[in-house]
Amino acid sequence: MATRDKGLWRRRTPTRPCRWPRSIAITALLVATISIAAGCAGRSSGDATADTESGTGIGRTAPTGPGATYYVSPTGSDSNPGTMEAPWASPGLASRRLSPGDTLVLMGGRYFLGVYDQDILKPSSGSREAWVTIKGEEGGRPVLAGGNDLFAAIDISGASYVRIENLEITSDKGAPFRTGITGTGAPVSHVVLRDLYVHHLDEMGIDLADVEDLQVLDCHITHCGFGAVGGPPGPSGWRDVLISGCELSYSGHYYQGGAGPGPYDRPDGFGIEPSPGPIEIAYTVAEHNRGDGLDSKAQNTRIHHCVVANNACDGVKLWGDGSGIADTLIYGTGDGEGEASPWAGIVIGQDSAEGARFEIVNVTLHDNPEREAYPIYVQYDESTLTHLLLRNTIISNGHGPAYFGDAVALEADHNLFFRPGEEVQVHANGRDYTASQVEAGELGVGNLSRDPLFRSPAWGATGDYRLRAGSPAIDSGSPLGAPPDDLDGVPRPAGTAWDMGAYERREDEP
Ligand SMILES: [Ca+2]
Ligand SMILES: [Ca+2]
Higher pLDDT, 47 or 187: 187
Interval between CA 250 and ligand 1 midpoint (Å) = 14
User: For 219-273, how does the pLDDT look when each residue is reduced to its tens digit (9 = 90+)?
Assistant: 999 999 999 999 999 999 999 999 999 999 999 999 999 999 999 989 999 999 9
Report the separation in Å between the CA atom of 252 and the middle of ligand 1, taken as the mean of its atom positions: 12
Instruction: Considering only residues 268 and 51, tell me which one the structure prediction assigns the higher pLDDT.
Output: 268
Q: Which of 206, 204, 196 is nearest to 238 (CA)?
A: 206
Let me know: does 151 contact 114? Beta carbons within 8 Å: no
The tens digit of pLDDT for each residue in 67-111 reads 999 999 999 999 999 999 999 999 999 999 999 999 999 999 999
Q: How far is the CA of 473 from the centre of ligand 2 (A)?
A: 8
Ligand nearest to the CA of 295: 1
Which backbone phi and psi does 392 adopt, to 5 degrees? 55, 35
- Distance, in Å, from the CA atom of 364 to the CA atom of 310, rounded to the nearest integer, reads 14
Ligand 1 centroid–CA 30 distance in Å is 31
Q: What is the mean pLDDT of residues 345-370?
A: 96
pLDDT of residue 265: 85
> Which positions ≥6 away from 92 have C-beta within 8 Å?
113, 115, 117, 118, 119, 120, 121, 122
Ligand 2 centroid to Cα of residue 414, in Å, is 13
**Shortest CA distance to 444 belongs to which of 388, 366, 497?**
388
Answer whether residue 473 shows pLDDT above 80: yes
User: Which-ligand-closest: CA of 503?
Assistant: 2
Instruction: Give just the sign of the alpha carbon dihedral 5, 10, 15, 20.
Output: positive
Counting ligands in written order, which one lies closest to the CA of residue 227?
Answer: 1
Domains identified in the chain and CATH numbers: 1-43+316-510 (no CATH), 51-282 (2.160.20.10)
In SS3 terms, 424-436 reads as EEEEECCEEEEHH
459, 117, 138, 454: which is closest to 311 by C-alpha? 459
- Interatomic CA distance for residues 22 and 490, integer angstroms: 19
Note the ligand closest to the C-alpha atom of 297: 1
What spacing in Å lies between the alpha carbon of 237 and ligand 2's midpoint?
A: 40
- From the CA of 402, how far away is ligand 2's center (Å)? 24
pLDDT of residue 64: 52
Query: Among 136, 176, 132, which residue's Cα sits nearest to residue 156?
Result: 132
232 CA → ligand 1 middle, Å: 12
The alpha carbon of 359 and the centre of ligand 1 are apart by a number of angstroms equal to 20
Asked whether 189 and 211 are in contact (CB, 8 A), the reply is: yes
Ligand lying closest to the C-alpha of residue 496: 2
Nearest ligand to the C-alpha atom of residue 312: 1
Distance of CA 332 from the midpoint of ligand 1 (Å): 17
Q: Which ligand is nearest to the CA of 292?
A: 1
Q: Collapsing DSSP states into helix, strand and coil, what is residue 204?
A: strand
Q: What amino acid is encoded at 431 in this protein?
A: R
pLDDT band at 66 (very low <50, low <70, confident <90, very high): confident
Ligand 1 centroid – CA 295 distance (Å): 5
In this model, does residue 128 exceed pLDDT 70?
yes
Burial (CB count <10 Å: 0-12, 13-18, 19+), residue 30? exposed
The closest alpha carbon to 335, from 371, 362, 363, belongs to 371
> Is residue 65 very low, low, confident or very high in pLDDT (cuts 50, 70, 90)?
low
Q: Is the pLDDT of residue 300 over 50?
A: yes
Nearest ligand, CA 289: 1
**Whether residue 117 has a cis bond before it, omega within 30° of 0:** yes
405 Cβ contact list (under 8 Å, min separation 6): 378, 379, 380, 382, 386
pLDDT given at position 510: 84
Alpha-carbon distance 292 to 303, whole Å? 14
pLDDT of 467 reads: 98
Backbone angle region of 481, left / alpha / beta, with phi > 0 → left and psi within -120 to 50 → alpha: left
User: With 50 as the cut, is the pLDDT of residue 350 above it?
Assistant: yes
State mean pLDDT over 112-126.
97
Express each pLDDT in 496-509 by its tens digit: 999 999 999 998 88
Residues whose CB falls within 8 Å of the CB of residue 150, separated by 6 or more in sequence, listed in order:
113, 114, 115, 116, 119, 120, 177, 178
Residue 117, SS3? Answer: coil
Residue 464 has pLDDT above 70, yes or no: yes
Give the mean model confidence (pLDDT) for residues 310-336: 98
Instruction: Report how far ligand 1's centroid is from the alpha carbon of 375 (Å).
Output: 17
Cα(365) to ligand 1 centroid in Å equals: 19
pLDDT at 55: 34
- 191-225 pLDDT per residue, tens: 999 999 999 999 999 999 999 999 999 999 999 99
- Ligand nearest the Cα atom of residue 349: 1
Sign of CA pseudo-dihedral 442, 445, 449, 450: positive
pLDDT over 50 at 49, yes or no: no
Q: Determine if the pTM surpasses 0.85.
A: yes
Mean pLDDT, rounded, for 359-368: 98
Give the Å distance between the CA of 2 and the centre of ligand 2: 30
Mean pLDDT (the chain) is 89
Ligand closest to 315 (CA) is 1
134 sits in which H/E element: strand 132-136
b/e per residue 459-493 (b: at least 16 CB within 10 A): bbeebebbbbeebbbbbbbbbbbbbbbbbeebebb
pLDDT at 44 over 80: no
H or E element that contains 111: strand 110-113
Q: How far is the CA of 268 from the centre of ligand 1 (A)?
A: 6
Alpha-carbon distance values, 369 to 72, 150, 244, 464, 467 (Å): 55, 44, 32, 18, 20
How far is ligand 1, taken at its centre, from the CA of residue 291, in Å? Answer: 6
Tens-place pLDDT, residues 269-288: 999 999 999 999 999 999 99
- Which of 427, 385, 431 has the alpha carbon at shortest distance from 408? 385
Closest-approaching ligand to the CA atom of 264: 1
Long-range Cβ contact pairs of 484-493 (< 8 A, separation 24 or more): 484/18, 484/19, 484/20, 484/35, 484/38, 484/39, 485/19, 485/38, 485/327, 486/327, 486/362, 487/305, 487/307, 487/327, 487/328, 487/329, 489/43, 491/19
